[in-house]
Structure 1
Amino acid sequence: MFEIKKFIAVLTLVATAGTLVACGEENTAGGNAVAIGGTFEFVSPGGQTSISYPPEDREKIGNINGVNLITDEEMSLDEFDGQVVVLNSWGQWCGPCRSESDDLQRVHERMQQTGKGTLLGINVKDFSRAKAQNFVKDNGITYPSLYDPPFKSALALGGVPTSVIPTTIVLDKQHRPAHIFLQEVTEDQLWDVVEPILNEDA
């Protein structure tokens, strides 16, 4: 009986340790996540969730391409050459993503009015494509999204943590990260960052 109890205790300890490791791996926003994509290398100093990059420190990301969530047509970041692009990774299963979607839509509309920018979604971890499509249609979202359940496009984003959803990356006209939000954003927060970048020289 003692040996059985001891065995169960060991199993419990191993399971608990495994859980702690998994949580640590998922919570990458609190550490210094670093990897390479294009020439841009993402670093979150001190676990910051809102990170700005001045023009002289910006580096290009790799090209992002895939299929349109709604139309299934091939699309690429390169299609928006010379424009400010706001990338937003999202999933219909994600509460903060659902909450910020109307704010993102309004920022997209404001950028479209300037003729200088667009918003591009990256739909991740939605293995039911129909649910993601219905969310877009039901909420009147007009900006396009890539359908990328495994978040393969993260490879081009210089190590931005795939476990932090939503993530919003503001690319300047040369498609270099100018600001990264590892958090839900409001229209005002995002527009305050986007507007001056729209007015930068290409």
Structure 2
Amino acid sequence: MNPVYEPAVAAIVTDKHDSTRRFSRHDLIKQGEYITVGPDVFELQRVDYGRKLLQLKRVSKQDSLFSPQVGFRPHQFNAVNLHTDKKLALSDYKGRYVLLDFWGTWCGPCRAETPHLRRAYEQFSRSDLEIIGIGCDDTAEKIKAYCASEKAQWPQILADDTNKLVDQYHVDSWPTTILLDRDGKVVLKDLRGSQMIDSLSQLINRKP
């Protein structure tokens, strides 16, 4: 029988002696993402569940590695801010924290996060934090109407087949939030509710 390969995810245990560690879905490495083993970095190419093997490809740290994983820089993008019809580039926000919010007007849990996002947007200055909403499977008209009714003033862009943001950021559930630090690296993921405000406060108010 041929081995069965599944390109989805594989759990990576970093310390076999730590039996008390609780794993979240962020401990799952997806195909095309990276695994750091000591000084080496490997790309996960496939998983053989039948033989419990990972196929890895060593990559050079000198290469430009883009990933939505914590510790990496994500893919850059250029899009149009639906509020202003002006171009927006992720690189424009380097030097401040950037919270990327993948959401949709059709998504109940996404809408439930709007008050928390609005609070964060009002609580922190634009020199410290920017929020970029990334509408998925949605239309510009619906997003603009919803944001107007909810006073959601932060920039909004559309994820589509051209920019492939859902694929590049490995988004498979909504809402998904990804927080970039001042250097443009992913520092936290899936911040929601009051936890989001607390985590942002700790990071932004932390002394250098």
Q: Once superposed, what is the RMSD of the aligned Cα atoms?
A: 2.9
Shift of 1:86: 0.7
SS in 1 for 2:82: coil
Q: Which residue of the other structure, out of 35, 39, 54, is the alignment partner of 2:65?
A: 39
Shift of 1:179: 0.5
Shift of 1:63: 1.1
8 Å contact from structure 1 (residues 33, 42) kept in 2: no
Count of residues in Structure 1 that have an aligned counterpart in Structure 2: 156
Shift of 1:116: 1.1
Distance in 2 between the 1:176 and 1:155 partners?
Answer: 18
Residue equivalent to 2:201: 195
Shift of 1:194: 1.4
Q: Which residue of the other structure, out of 61, 65, 68, is the alignment partner of 2:78?
A: 65
Q: Report sequence identity in percent.
A: 25
Go from structure 1 to structure 2 and tell me whether the alpha carbon gap of 1:112 and 1:74 turns closer, same or farther (over 3 Å shift): same
Residue equivalent to 2:174: 165
Residue equivalent to 2:47: none
**Paired AA for residue 118 in structure 1:** E
Distance in 1 between the 2:75 and 2:68 partners?
Answer: 13
Q: Which residue of the other structure, out of 136, 142, 159, is the alignment partner of 1:124?
A: 136
Shift of 1:40: 4.3
C-alpha distance after superposition, 1:85-126 (max 9, x if no partner):
11101100000011111111111111227x311111111110
SS in 2 for 1:194: helix
**Paired AA for residue 190 in structure 1:** M
Residue equivalent to 2:145: 134
Distance in 2 between the 1:149 and 1:41 partners?
Answer: 19
SS in 2 for 1:175: coil
Distance in 1 between the 2:75 and 2:206 partners?
Answer: 22
Residue equivalent to 1:21: none
Distance in 1 between the 2:206 and 2:188 partners?
Answer: 14
SS in 2 for 1:67: strand
Distance in 1 between the 2:207 and 2:110 partners?
Answer: 31
8 Å contact from structure 2 (residues 181, 187) kept in 1: yes
**Paired AA for residue 180 in structure 1:** K
The question of 1:108 aligning with 2:121 is answered yes
* Structure 2 portions without partners, runs of 5+: 1-7, 10-24, 35-63
Return structure 1 stretches of 4+ with deviation > 3 angstroms.
29-32, 40-43, 154-157, 199-202
Say which structure, 1 or 2, has more relative contact order (CA 8 Å, 6+ apart).
1
Distance in 1 between the 2:173 and 2:133 partners?
Answer: 15
8 Å contact from structure 1 (residues 172, 198) kept in 2: no
Go from structure 1 to structure 2 and tell me whether the alpha carbon gap of 1:171 and 1:42 turns closer, same or farther (over 3 Å shift): closer
- Greater helix proportion: 1
* Structure 1 portions without partners, runs of 5+: 1-23, 44-52
